[in-house]
Structures are given as C-alpha cells and as structure tokens.
Structure 1
Amino acid sequence: MAANWWLALIIMVVFNGIIAWTLFTGLEPVSRRAKKWLFIVANVVALVLAVSQFFWMDF
C-alpha cells in the first residue's frame, strides 16, 4: 500500500514539474489566465491518474 502512495506522489510531482518546465522555459509570453487553466487542467489530470492507480494497480 505504501508503494501506491509513493506512485501517487510521483505522478503529481511529475505533472507539476512538466507545468513548471513549460511555463519557465517557454519563449512566448503566456497570459495569467492561460497559466491558471494550464495549472488547473494538468493537476486535475494528475489527480485522476493518481487516484485511479489505487484501483487498477495491485502491489
């Protein structure tokens, strides 16, 4: 069960790392509204993946 919690944490960290990398290394300016929605959508996807792995992955 502890492995499931670690995997969920890794999923969230990876998705937030991708968001940070995209926003900090992007060459074109991005509006605050677009940044906010990118953050929200990516975190919702990461949360769904993190929760779903509890149901489909047995360690």
Structure 2
Amino acid sequence: MEVPKDLTSYVRVLKLASTPSTEEFSQVSLVAGAGIMLVGFLGFVIFVIMTFMPGGI
C-alpha cells in the first residue's frame, strides 16, 4: 500500500466533489426526512400491534 498513491486519489475525489445547490439539498433532505418518518411510523404500528395483541406476532 503506497501512501502517495492513496493521497493522490483522495485529492482527486475532493477536487471532483462540489457543494449541492439549494434545490438539490432540499430534495435530498425531503427524501431523507420521508424515510425517517416511514421507519418511525412502521415502528409505531409494530408497537401498537404488540401492545393490543401481545401474542399476535
């Protein structure tokens, strides 16, 4: 494993990276928020099912 070769690849990736536009950032955060809400809702549904039907699942 050569350190200089690894460092040049990291620098190349950092040069290609750019900050997202406001529209792109808001779209990504909206999708991530929707995913978090979906996982939370599924957890809540499982909690309710297990509370009212302890031996159901």
Give TM-score scaled by structure 1 length.
Answer: 0.47
Highest Rg: 1 or 2?
2
Give TM-score scaled by structure 2 length.
Answer: 0.48
Higher relative contact order (CA 8 A, sep 6+): 1
